[in-house]
A and B are shown apart, each in its own frame.
Chain A
Amino acid sequence: MLDNILSILIFFPALAAVLGFIVNKESIRAYGVVVAIIEFSLALLLWFFFDNNVSGMQFMETIALVPTFGINYIVGVDGISLFIVILAAFFTMIGIASLGDTKDIKNMIITLLFLQMTMVGVFVALDAIVFYVFWELSLVPMLYIIGAWGGPLRIYASVKFFLYTFTGSLVMLVGMLFMAYFYYQATGQWSFAILDWYRLILPESFQLWLFVAFFFGFAIKVPMFPFHTWLPYAHGQAPTIGSVILAAILLKMGTYAFIRFSLPLFPDASTYFMFPIAILAIIMIIYTAMVAYAQKDIKQVVAYSSVSHMGVIILGTFALNVEGISGSIFLMIAHGVVSGALFFLVGVIYDRRHTKMMDQFGGLASVMPKFATIFGIMMMASVGLPLTINFVGEFLSLLGFYQQSHILTLLAGMAIIVGAIYMLSAYKKMFFGEVTIEENKNLPDVNKRELIALVPLVIITIWLGIYPKPLLGPINTSVEAVVQLMHEKSITEEAKQRIPNLDILINRTSAKEAN
């Protein structure tokens, strides 16, 4: 059971989805909830049996797919991917549970389950092609969700989302094929297994090109400035659940891939491109924050804010030291929780008023106090207040990058200012002041179903803000291994001294082999 728990995690939702076609429309919601709960508890089981002291991959499975061309089905988790997997399961669960009454809800739930398969797949895949398969496959359900349940511009938004990401990842595919080819030249056999690639030391020039190729795929997914413009449309048009999953999980694929591929495979290139990327990240942080400030649509504010936060994540990733990378991974989780919650909250108000324009609101604090409180907590988390989940991530990311560049960190630190500006003004517009518009006079406060989604998120936000250790521990262990690997692999002087040497011995063996 435990030996192939990962495969179960991946394919259980898919199987459930297929069977879901038979389930009656009336009871599909219950079905979906149950399936999601089972999946989530499996994920928790995974965490329970996860060995925090092993830096390498655990629960690995290998099945030969196309051995002649070196494509194998390899999956495994380490501290880096573990929690994102759990997060994915968690969000699908509360997402389905809190799903309002939507038209053809059956298709929606089935699509969500398929989406869950692809999400889990991306984060546990250890073979480049398998990774690519899930990576691309994840576009389809999201395309359908945005395109079928979205707003007026939904088709434009969904197609843009699909094609933009698709294009980027095709360039990435070429990069992967090159990588495999280099491996073939070096060892005489084809392999797409990431762990094999880790052992390959490339000359710097190759690294630079491959880094760029991979960069396109990842940067569009993140999305990094200037490839971010699909995101506002996608978020703006998508239904609540779509935005939540998109912001919470799908965006993380890009940043996760940076840590899984770019850094360990191309340490020198990563060092070489560190400053350009850091500058992009800073543009993301400040520029998108300003754009967010200019928005009139609360959902767009949240959308742009998440771009801004992704900037901090990127910055932490390219700090190339343990503090920064752990911070960025933690911030992935944090941002998932917080922005997911924010999109939920926007959905709550949208369901009531069918508008997202902030000037349609005002004074909601007196009408919907519970809602205002939760929104306030999440907003404060999003602006990175200490003892909320976001702060830990942002603090560590910035702290990490400070070692690389002082002035850039100072600029990036503006995040805490500009973030406060747009968030507070948005909150002021929506919740403070007198209630002017008639419809707002007696809006119902958050109901039970919405609380099901929101309360756990609030709890997590505070709990992990006060006690992040359960996550930081495993993350730290794996990140140390990655950083050490990078240091050992790097060939240029600059990389050697920018990437700290932890002189620890990496054990890439999976837990099973370990004991």
Chain B
Amino acid sequence: MELFLYTALFAPLVGSLFAALFGASPRTKIAGIVPSILLGVSLISSTVLLVLVLITGHTVHVEMMTWMATGDLYIPFGFIVDQVSVTMMMVVTLVSTVVHVYAIGYMNHDKGFNRFFAWLSAFVFSMMVLVMSDNFAGLFIGWEGVGLCSWGLIGFWYHKESATWAANEAFIMNRIADLGMLIGIFLIYWNTGTLQYDGAFAAMPALTPETLTWIGIFLFIGAMGKSAQFPLHTWLADAMEGPTPVSALIHAATMVTAGVYLVVRSNELYSLIPHVGLFIASLGAFVAIFAASMALVNRDIKRVIAYSTLSQLGYMFVAAGLGAYWVALFHLMAHAFFKALLFLGAGNVMHAMDSELDPFKMGGLGKTMKGTMIMMTLASVALAGIYPLAGFFSKDLILEVAMIEHHYIIYSVLLFTAGLTAFYSFRIVALIFHGEERYKLFGFHPHEAYKFMLVAMSPLLFLAVIAGSFKMTYFEMVTYILPATEYHVHNPAIYWIMTIGTQIFVIISIYYAYKIYMSRDIKVPDGTSKMEKSFAYKLLINQYYIPYFYEECFVKPYRELSTLCWTKIDQKIVDASVDGIAKAFYATGENTRAMQSGNLSTMLKWMVAGTVALLSLAVVFGLAARYSGEIKVILSGLGV
């Protein structure tokens, strides 16, 4: 079994290195194909492992070699394949294989073709390390690795200022979160004495609640960074600067879900500290609606999808926070499929509209791009959670969880968000594929993407449709290690009301979306319409002014402070004082060298003066010595 494990893990690395060989040379198909094939291999071996775990329930655990060992610290390169990680492995390998194949077509004309695949496979490798590692340090390796790769891929078109800026923003924001994670790791080490999952979690029940709370908080800060939870969310939307396959793979399916994975992975910790869990859940709920609201008005299809990702992550955190770890994981998996699909569809559209992103400039594309339309529509349906598609099973489950755990506020928030979700998803679907063909005004000549790209997307489509039916099997499997709580509203009445109600609500929203955005008189907004003048619109389109806020309150001050530190403190104070001392000596010399006037009689005067000075001192001392008694008397008289 180790063999499969290592293949699953290292095949992507090999692919990446292979592509990297061609890094400098002009684009060659081979640099794209070989990594894709290797990913296929990785996918197969992951499947084998999945089957094994599914059937036998055994887990594979290997320790490759020592990494760091000093003092009491011992960190190996250890990898584990258990129910949780195998899920992630499946998701990662599957989606990335699809994306690779898709990208061969998508990046066809890009001169950075080879570089792209090197980065992409490298990303998959680090993601695999992240999910397969059996200790926190290994996790951190993957954690930083995916950060690096996403930096490289967001900034893939490095000649674009916005792209590179977004890349750095993403990296630095993740770094902020990583610091939290690092501290969490330190806490775990100094309290449990190991960084191995099993050891650490085994030791945790013995620890004091506040220690655990701190650990939980710091680890979650790490998770917030990767999963772009508020307030560290701004980078995700900007990350859409990267090529669309990247968005599909990294910023929808895999990397951003790492945070959820972390929380699920440390469920034993979080189940000890429910209050932190509740906080996570609340934050999740907030982010869900917060992101959805921004998605309502945005005029950039990729950003809309990004926000929806954000909001779906919120759902997952609600589930995880409320202790329904397997639900979170399940939604993670389902979401990965349809969200990737959605992104790839958006990619096709972009291709067709040569990188135009404003849906208002499209419309009626359905005629030219049937395949894409079908896929995106189905994906949106799934996302909206209509029976019997994947979204229904995973998402509504989360609602039920909230209900059963009696967190009605969270429940209602999520419910409302479900409506919003449906609305904005179909808003863009409508704007893109239906209604008047506005793109003609802008002289675009859309065309459907390559066949094989569509074919590549089809597995995702398939899964997006049927994933829901795996629910029970999955439950059986994953609850080997996750707390097995069935979430069922036992009162059938309420259950049905809930379900039907939700469905109706969602459908209504969809209907409204179509009604508004399919109407003939949709114009490209020019900032004149009443809605655009409204405060709410401004607030939303500007992402609640949070990016401006960050720019004003962190970025600018930091830059100014740095300049100040350099020009003022470092040069004017620290350095100047050092030079000042030296200068002082030199100046003293310059000023006193006049003493050496070179005139003989001055010299003689100096000698005599010196002698006289000494003499007077001597006399004073002598007198003092002689009359010491009297002096004492006088001093005592003075009361000294």
**A residues adjacent to B (C-beta < 8 A):** 160, 163-164, 225-226, 228-230, 287, 290-291, 293-295, 321-323, 326-327, 363, 365-366, 369-370, 373, 380, 385-387, 392, 395-396, 398-399, 402-403, 406, 409-410, 413-414, 416-417, 420-421, 424-425, 428, 431-434, 466-469, 472-473, 475-476, 479-480
- Complex-state Cα separation, A459 to B442, whole angstroms: 52
Q: Which residue of chain B is the closest to A413 with respect to CB atoms?
A: B179
Question: Which residues between 358 and 405 of chain B lie within 8 Å of chain A, taking CB atoms?
Answer: none
Q: Are the C-beta atoms of A392 and B172 separated by less than 8 Å?
A: no
B549 CB, nearest partner CB in chain A, Å: 18
Could you say which of A160, A421, A476 contacts B172, with CB atoms under 8 Å apart? A421
Q: Which residue of chain B is the closest to A424 with respect to CB atoms?
A: B168
- Complex-state Cα separation, A386 to B175, whole angstroms: 12
Bitwise, B548-571 to A at CB < 8 A (1) or not (0) is 000000000011011101110110
B232 CB, nearest partner CB in chain A, Å: 12
Interface status of B497 (Cβ within 8 A of chain A): no
Q: Are the C-beta atoms of A434 and B65 separated by less than 8 Å?
A: no
What are 27 contact pairs spanning A and B, CB under 8 A?
Answer: A228-B574, A287-B565, A290-B566, A291-B562, A291-B565, A293-B558, A293-B562, A294-B565, A322-B71, A323-B71, A323-B73, A369-B23, A386-B140, A387-B141, A395-B68, A396-B70, A396-B73, A402-B186, A413-B182, A413-B183, A414-B179, A416-B178, A417-B176, A421-B172, A428-B168, A432-B164, A472-B70
Whether A386 touches B159, Cβ cut-off 8 Å, given contacts A396-B68, A399-B73, is no
Q: Which B residues touch A228, using CB under 8 A?
A: 574
Whether A425 touches B168, Cβ cut-off 8 Å, given contacts A380-B148, A433-B158, is yes
- Complex-state Cα separation, A475 to B68, whole angstroms: 12
Apart from A416-B178, A433-B164, what 18 extra A-B contacts exist at CB < 8 Å?
A: A290-B566, A293-B562, A294-B566, A365-B158, A369-B24, A380-B148, A385-B148, A395-B68, A395-B137, A399-B73, A416-B182, A417-B172, A420-B172, A421-B558, A433-B159, A469-B66, A472-B70, A480-B71
Could you say which of B70, B165, B578 contacts A326, with CB atoms under 8 Å apart? B70
Whether A433 touches B70, Cβ cut-off 8 Å, given contacts A229-B578, A428-B168, is no
Q: Which B residues touch A434, using CB under 8 A?
A: 159
Q: Which A residues touch B23, using CB under 8 A?
A: 369, 373
The listed residue with most B CB atoms (<10 A of its CB), out of A229, A369, A468, is: A229
Q: Which B residues touch A395, using CB under 8 A?
A: 68, 137, 182
User: How would you classify the secondary structure of chain B's contact residues: helix, strand, loop or mixed?
Assistant: helix
Q: Are the C-beta atoms of A476 and B70 separated by less than 8 Å?
A: yes
Q: Which A residues touch B182, using CB under 8 A?
A: 395, 398, 413, 416
- Complex-state Cα separation, A155 to B164, whole angstroms: 40
Whether A476 touches B186, Cβ cut-off 8 Å, given contacts A385-B144, A417-B176, A424-B171, is no
Q: Which A residues touch B187, using CB under 8 A?
A: 402
Q: Which residue of chain B is the closest to A293 with respect to CB atoms?
A: B562
- Complex-state Cα separation, A466 to B64, whole angstroms: 12
Could you say which of A373, A410, A472 contacts B69, with CB atoms under 8 Å apart? A472
Q: Which A residues touch B190, using CB under 8 A?
A: 402-403
Question: Which residues between 13 and 39 of chain B lie within 8 Å of chain A, taking CB atoms?
Answer: 23-24
Bitwise, B68-110 to A at CB < 8 A (1) or not (0) is 1111110000000000000000000000000000000000000
Q: Are the C-beta atoms of B566 and A409 separated by less than 8 Å?
A: no
Q: Which residue of chain B is the closest to A469 with respect to CB atoms?
A: B66
Q: Are the C-beta atoms of B172 and A386 separated by less than 8 Å?
A: no
Q: Which A residues touch B545, using CB under 8 A?
A: none
Q: Which residue of chain A is the closest to B195 with respect to CB atoms?
A: A399
Q: Which B residues touch A399, using CB under 8 A?
A: 73, 186, 189
A463 CB, nearest partner CB in chain B, Å: 13
Could you say which of B140, B158, B172, B567 contacts A432, with CB atoms under 8 Å apart? B158
Interface status of B575 (Cβ within 8 A of chain A): yes
Q: Are the C-beta atoms of A392 and B161 separated by less than 8 Å?
A: no
- Complex-state Cα separation, A32 to B165, whole angstroms: 45
A113 CB, nearest partner CB in chain B, Å: 32
